[in-house]
Structures are given as structure tokens and as C-alpha cells.
Amino acid sequence: MSLVTDNRGHLACAKWQFLLLASIAVTSLSGCGLKHRGKNGWKVGPNYCPPVEPVASQWIDYTDPRVNSGPADLSTWWTTFNDPTLNQLVQTANLQI
């Protein structure tokens, strides 16, 4: 099956194949090559180290009474868009269930 339907179909197909192979070759030979990333465990850079920044075990304001740590009520989350059409669609969908 050919993507090109004119009488130059073979030539056009060969051009696409050449461009595809050329782009793969350029990518492989550049700094973005898959060879180096595979050896590196898919990490960034040849000497990648994870950051060693300390992370607090609790959020700084976890004792603040204004902070609600309970589960959020997401039963009507779409209403924040103030879209009557979306509200109607959700209502229609809920009637179908």
C-alpha cells in the first residue's frame, strides 16, 4: 500500500524513507542518542546523581487549624468552570446511570 497515488509513487516513497533514515541517523549520532541514555539507565547526563536536598517529614503549617487535611469533596468539581453546557451534560449523564 502506497501513501502516494501518482505515477511517481516509488520516487516519493524513497524520499520519505531516506528522510526517515537520515533523521534516525542524525539523532543517533547526536548528543540525544539512545546509546548513551541506555547505558546510563535512562538518566540525564553521564554522571547523574539524584538531588540530596533534605525533605521535611511534615509540612511547615500542618498544625494550622485553617488547613483542611481531610478528603476533598470532588462530587461537583466541574462547577468551578461556570459552564452551563457542561453542567447540563453532567446532569444528563447522571440521569442515564
Per-residue pLDDT of the chain (97 residues; tens, 9 = 90+): 445 455 555 566 777 888 878 777 766 665 555 555 566 566 676 677 777 888 888 888 888 888 887 888 888 999 999 999 999 999 999 887 7
DSSP state letter for 2: -
How far, in Å, are 17, 21, 79 from residue 4 at the CA level? 13, 19, 49
Element (H, E) at 88: helix 84-96
Question: What is the DSSP secondary-structure string of 7-41?
Answer: TTHHHHHHHHHHHHHHHHHHHHHSTT-HHHHHHTT
CA distance 14 to 95: 55
Largest CA distance in the chain: 76
Alpha carbons 42 and 37: distance in angstroms, whole number: 5
Question: Which conformational region is residue 25 in: left (phi greater than 0), alpha (psi within -120 to 50 degrees), or beta?
Answer: alpha
